Amino acid sequence: MNSVVIVAISIAYLLLLFLIASWAEKRTTIKRSLVANPYVYALSLAIFCTAWTFYGSVGRTITNGIEFLTVYIGPTMLMPLWWVVFRKLIRISKVQRITNLADFVSARYGRSRALGVLVTLLCVVGLVPYISIQIKAIGSSIDILTAQEVAQTSAFWQDNVLYLVVFLGVFTMLFGTRRLEAHERHEGLVAAIAFESLFKLVAFLAVGLFVTFGVFDGFDDIAQRAAQHPPLQSLFVMDTNETSSWFWHCLVSGLAIMFLPRQFQVAIVENTRENHLRKAIWLFPLYLLAINLFVIPIAFGGYLTFGDSVKADHYVLALPIYFKQEGLALLTYLGGFSAATSMIIVECTALTIMVSNNLVLPLLVGSPKWLNKFGGDMGQWIINMRRVSVALLLLLAYFYYKFVSDRYSLVSVGMVSFAAVAQLAPAVFGGLFWKQGAAKGTFWGLIAGWAVWFYTLIVPSMANAGFLPVQWLESGPWGIAWLHPEHLFGLTYLDNVSHGIFWSLLVNIGCYVGGSLLANRSAQEQNQATLFVDVFAYSEVYESSVVWKGKALVTDLQSLLGNFLGTTRAERLLNLYAKRNNINLKNRYADPRIVNYAEKILSGAIGTASARLVVASVAKEEKITVEEVIDILKTSRELQLFNEELRKKSEALEKLTDQLQTANEQLQRMDQQKDDFLSTVTHEIRTPLTSIRMLSEIVQDNPDLEEEQRDHFLGTIIKESDRLMRLVNEVLDLERFDSGRIAFHEDVFEITEAISSALDSVLHLAKEKNVQIQNHFEGDLTPIKADRDRLVQVYINLVSNAIKYCYPDMGVIKIKTTQDSEFLTTTVTDNGAGIEAEFLPLIFDKFYQAKKRSSQKPTGSGLGLAITKKIIELYEGEISAQSSPNLYTTFTFKIPMKSLSTAAQIDQQI
């Protein structure tokens, strides 16, 4: 077949991919996405199956037996982990706008620039050979089709492969670096990839069916014939040593499918819904099973057909050609081509994003010169830079294929690449599930892991290829046996790949764990660790709970976003976010949430570390230390306390209002009492006045009155006049007590004499009601010095008060007085109506009368007890009352003797 025709067909196939990709992108813009379903998602994951699968599986079957299956068994066995690991990775990447593995590691470990650079470099180094074997597969398949000897010695401009690679580069540039997106999702690319996955499966199944049922007579036929060939037979007997290498190969394949950049791209970044994982978890292993179904029949068929005359790697394509099936051969070629191109396109896209966001931009955005030069339109600049990096990566892979790959064995290039990316496992798993995991540990783990990887897996190839002395592989470097790159520390029973994986992962994990445990982590690192490990707890509130301190102008942020994403898009994004979160963009300084949001948008476009740098360049931010985070928490606590204080104060105010109200009520009550007092006094004055007037008129109008009756009437007039006079005196007394102008007259007398005098005055009252009075005295009868009339008044008031409340004919009043060197004490107890407890504290108030019904006649002026209290207090004594309704009522007063012997203080009063 003419090579020009083949190249033309290849290019036609690529044009078909263009159409599919463009169609998918158009569908995306009209919101009817082709790729947002689990089937396309599962198919895109099948990018795992490269030309290495398409051609290499058959080849490896001939050399290593069914060991090739480890590459598919490993991922299948680790598939249940996906639900835990991938779901978390997807969530974190969405929340944190992470677009590649280097960014993930960098962001997780405190937005470390160094880690981003390290992971990027090592991925590039680990994967360029892998890309190159894809190119090589394309090259050899064209050679087989054109029946040429595999000739890589021709000048590269004569090489058809170069033109195909250029075409691939253009495709990648168009669909992988189309725009500067905040999420780096490429639906056109995914649609093309899914199509390719389907295409390569169909092609491989077609060859398998042809060989199994066209050339041979089904599986049984092939198996029976193969059984007659001892070399084939021996391939299916497993060596005991092989079991451990199976383990390591399965493990590294299972890890690689999680950490290959292209897998991260399709599984994490391009994921549209977390739930798609559910279907993919069983659809993808099914795909792996289908594509491996005919590997052994083709391998046997090829061996039975060609023996050793054709390379086993070429059986898949050589068989249709040998049996003159041109159409099938072309389909097979395109199948292999699709397997290779899909890998190249996506791997280049993923690596380019890594290189741009984690290698180039972090170095450039830190330089003010660069910012000044390209500050206006960084977005376009970045896209161009990415296109250049795609070209450079492809060229690197091409030249590796052209000038390096042929110099030493490529059998295990795939596995060696897998081992390289598997070094990311400790950092990623730790980052997802272990908060203690630290940047320092990650850094040293990766460095050490990759050093061992290089020494155990690359150095032997280099020695074989003649770059290093071959003796190294015989007796170890400089004759040191335990440094032998394939048998470190005398570990001999593992094959070289297992050996390399074992040592590199062991050292890696050791350094990662050890370094993490010893590291002092910054607050930034601890914050990120928490946000990553607890993503399912924080993802809901992450946008609203921002711990960021500083000032940034809204306009600065707008122009910054505009520089990278274009002014209109930047404006639209910011307005949308502000609207959703009720933030006013008109303010001069940006809300911390806006700053945070801008940084995240930029993270998606230019990587976490770079975004951190550019945002820091426009924001005057202050570093947040662990102490400050605690401070922020404390501040909110203080705010809480402040609120508490406010609440207390308002409570106090309420109390004060209550007190004011009480005082007001008291004033009103006092006012009322005054009114009551006045009407009481009026009543008390009018009653005797009425009697006096009536009796005077009677005496005047009735000159013929009997003498006895006239005397009685006149005597009553006199008594009523006395009553009037007493009342007037009481009112005046009280007024004097209130104003402090009361006159005391010093007398020396015995208290019993004063009591007797008082009882004489109230005797008529007692007799009227037939109340019994008992009088007792105890103690020494030393004469006292006091105003006698006042003390008599005290006794009169207390006893007459008791009489007032006694029931007629059954009242008893008991007066008990004791006098010793310290106190004069008197109790007056009666068995009258008693006083309600609630009124007890009020009875000594002036104007107070124990009456509830205003219309009932008050018994007295209501001044007696008030005056009594004032007198006792002037002698520094105390008076109190105990009572309850229908029980005894007792008034007790106590006057210190010193007040009654020297009256100095009373003199002052006068």
Partner 1 sequence: MRNNAKILIVDDEPNILMSLEFLMKKEGYKVFIARDGEEALEIIKEHTPDLILLDIMMPKVDGYQVCSYVKLQSEYEHTKVVFMSAKSKEADLQKGYDLGADLYISKPFSTRDLMGKINALVAEEA
Which amino acid is present at 43?
A: L
**DSSP states along 823-873:** EEEEEEEE-SS---GGGGGGTTSTT--S-S-TTSPPSS-S-HHHHHHHHHH
Rounded Cα distance, 51 and 164, in Å = 15
| Residue-wise burial string across 90-99, b where 16 or more C-beta atoms lie within 10 A, e elsewhere | bbbbbbbbbb
Which of 422/692 has CB closer to partner 1?
Answer: 692
Query: CB 680 → partner 1: shortest distance, Å?
Result: 10
Q: Does 202 bind partner 1 (CB under 8 A)?
A: no
Rounded Cα distance, 684 and 729, in Å = 13
Q: Does 693 bind partner 1 (CB under 8 A)?
A: yes
Q: Which of 240, 520, 856, 908 binds partner 1 (CB under 8 A)?
A: 856
H helices of 293-402, in order, are 295-306, 315-322, 326-354, 361-364, 368-374, 378-399
Structural contact between residues 561 and 611, judged by C-beta atoms closer than 8 angstroms: no
Query: CB 853 → partner 1: shortest distance, Å?
Result: 7
Kindly state the tokens that stand for 148: 């040429």
Which of 380/716 has CB closer to partner 1?
Answer: 716
Query: CB 676 → partner 1: shortest distance, Å?
Result: 12
Question: Of 857-876, which residues contact partner 1 (CB under 8 A)?
Answer: 857-858
Question: Of 490-509, which residues contact partner 1 (CB under 8 A)?
Answer: none
Q: Does 886 bind partner 1 (CB under 8 A)?
A: no
Query: CB 695 → partner 1: shortest distance, Å?
Result: 6
Query: CB 687 → partner 1: shortest distance, Å?
Result: 6
Residues 6+ apart with CB under 8 A from 818: 777, 778, 779, 824, 825, 826
Structural contact between residues 565 and 379, judged by C-beta atoms closer than 8 angstroms: yes
3-state SS record for 458-495: HHHHHHHCCCCCCCHHHHCHHHCHHHCCCCHHHCCCCC
Query: CB 724 → partner 1: shortest distance, Å?
Result: 12
Rounded Cα distance, 839 and 287, in Å = 97
Q: Does 682 bind partner 1 (CB under 8 A)?
A: yes
Q: Which of 3, 22, 464, 687 binds partner 1 (CB under 8 A)?
A: 687
Which of 273/686 has CB closer to partner 1?
Answer: 686
| Residue-wise burial string across 543-556, b where 16 or more C-beta atoms lie within 10 A, e elsewhere | beebebbbebbbeb
Q: Which of 240, 243, 568, 855 binds partner 1 (CB under 8 A)?
A: 855
What is the bridge-based pairing of β-strands 784-786 and 747-749? antiparallel
Burial of 484 (0-12, 13-18, 19+ CB in 10 A): buried
Total residues contacting partner 1 by CB under 8 A comes to: 25
Question: Of 204-263, which residues contact partner 1 (CB under 8 A)?
Answer: none
Q: Does 640 bind partner 1 (CB under 8 A)?
A: no
Considering only the stretches 152-160, 380-388, 524-532, 698-706, report the one whose residues sit in contact with partner 1 under the rule CB under 8 A.
698-706
Question: Of 699-758, which residues contact partner 1 (CB under 8 A)?
Answer: 701-702, 713, 716, 720
Considering only the stretches 16-24, 88-96, 549-557, 688-696, report the one whose residues sit in contact with partner 1 under the rule CB under 8 A.
688-696
Which of 505/695 has CB closer to partner 1?
Answer: 695
Query: CB 805 → partner 1: shortest distance, Å?
Result: 12
User: Nearest Cα to 391, choosing from 426, 360, 352?
Assistant: 352
Q: Does 695 bind partner 1 (CB under 8 A)?
A: yes
Which of 721/892 has CB closer to partner 1?
Answer: 721
Per DSSP, which regions of 76-228 are E strands? Answer: none
User: Nearest Cα to 442, choosing from 433, 430, 454?
Assistant: 430
Query: CB 809 → partner 1: shortest distance, Å?
Result: 14
Q: Does 698 bind partner 1 (CB under 8 A)?
A: yes
User: Nearest Cα to 50, choosing from 425, 345, 400, 387?
Assistant: 345
Query: CB 884 → partner 1: shortest distance, Å?
Result: 21
Query: CB 814 → partner 1: shortest distance, Å?
Result: 25
Which of 746/768 has CB closer to partner 1?
Answer: 768
Query: CB 697 → partner 1: shortest distance, Å?
Result: 4
Query: CB 714 → partner 1: shortest distance, Å?
Result: 12
Residue 551: beta bridge partners? 620
Which of 149/704 has CB closer to partner 1?
Answer: 704
Considering only the stretches 33-41, 386-394, 441-449, 691-699, report the one whose residues sit in contact with partner 1 under the rule CB under 8 A.
691-699
Structural contact between residues 422 and 505, judged by C-beta atoms closer than 8 angstroms: yes
SS3 191: helix
Rounded Cα distance, 546 and 304, in Å = 68
Rounded Cα distance, 464 and 626, in Å = 53
Q: At 594, give phi and psi (nearest 5°).
A: -65, -45
Q: Does 764 bind partner 1 (CB under 8 A)?
A: no
Which of 568/856 has CB closer to partner 1?
Answer: 856
Rounded Cα distance, 335 and 204, in Å = 7
Q: Which of 275, 367, 690, 902 binds partner 1 (CB under 8 A)?
A: 690
Structural contact between residues 458 and 415, judged by C-beta atoms closer than 8 angstroms: no
Binding mask 815-854 for partner 1 (x = CB under 8 A): --------------------------------------x-
Query: CB 688 → partner 1: shortest distance, Å?
Result: 8
Query: CB 782 → partner 1: shortest distance, Å?
Result: 43
Q: Does 770 bind partner 1 (CB under 8 A)?
A: no
Considering only the stretches 47-55, 645-653, 692-700, 731-739, report the one whose residues sit in contact with partner 1 under the rule CB under 8 A.
692-700
Kindly state the tokens that stand for 20: 């599919």
Binding mask 661-680 for partner 1 (x = CB under 8 A): ------------------x-
Query: CB 857 → partner 1: shortest distance, Å?
Result: 4
Which of 31/857 has CB closer to partner 1?
Answer: 857
Q: Does 686 bind partner 1 (CB under 8 A)?
A: yes
Cα–Cα–Cα angle for 86, 89, 94, rounded to 5 degrees = 125
Considering only the stretches 176-184, 602-610, 813-821, 856-864, report the one whose residues sit in contact with partner 1 under the rule CB under 8 A.
856-864
Kindly state the tokens that stand for 576: 């949308």
Q: Which of 238, 694, 732, 910 binds partner 1 (CB under 8 A)?
A: 694
Which of 308/707 has CB closer to partner 1?
Answer: 707
Query: CB 712 → partner 1: shortest distance, Å?
Result: 9
3-state SS record for 540-602: CCCCCCCCCCEEEEHHHHHHHHHHHHCHHHHHHHHHHHHHHCCCCCCCCECCHHHHHHHHHHH
SS3 99: coil
Q: Which of 273, 655, 683, 741 binds partner 1 (CB under 8 A)?
A: 683
The residue count for the chain: 910
Q: Does 765 bind partner 1 (CB under 8 A)?
A: no
User: Nearest Cα to 278, choosing from 503, 464, 456, 39?
Assistant: 39
Residues 6+ apart with CB under 8 A from 646: none
Kindly state the tokens that stand for 274: 């977390």
Q: Which of 81, 166, 465, 689 binds partner 1 (CB under 8 A)?
A: 689
Query: CB 690 → partner 1: shortest distance, Å?
Result: 4
Footprint of partner 1 (CB under 8 A): 679, 682-683, 686-695, 697-698, 701-702, 713, 716, 720, 853, 855-858
